[in-house]
């Protein structure tokens, strides 16, 4: 299996079109990874803000007389 993968990667060096396509796809994957990280961070911020909002607006239970 490893020989097949190495052989496949070596074919990129012989065909500049495949090398260019491979580089383009690698860049696209890197761009998408950055986007996922940003969206995850934004989601975490929104969840924390919503949790704080719910805690602030939750009515306190009324005290019963003793």
Q: Is the dihedral of CA 46, 50, 53, 55 positive or negative?
A: negative
Phi-psi region of 60 (alpha: psi -120 to 50; beta: other; left: phi over 0): beta
* List of residues 6+ apart from 12 with CB closer than 8 A: 18, 19, 22
Question: Per residue in 3-61, pLDDT tens?
Answer: 555 555 555 557 888 889 999 999 999 999 999 999 999 999 999 999 998 888 767 67
Report the C-alpha gap between 43 and 65 in whole angstroms: 43
pTM tops 0.85, yes or no: no
Per-domain residue ranges of the chain: 2-54
Which token pair is 3?
A: 């020989």
């Amino acid at each position: 299996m490893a020989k097949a993968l190495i052989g496949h990667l070596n074919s990129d060096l012989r065909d500049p079109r495949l090398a260019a396509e491979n580089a383009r796809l690698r860049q696209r994957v890197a761009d998408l990874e950055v986007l996922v990280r940003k969206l995850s961070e934004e989601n975490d911020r929104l969840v924390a803000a919503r949790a704080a909002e719910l805690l602030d607006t939750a009515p306190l239970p009324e005290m019963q007389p003793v």
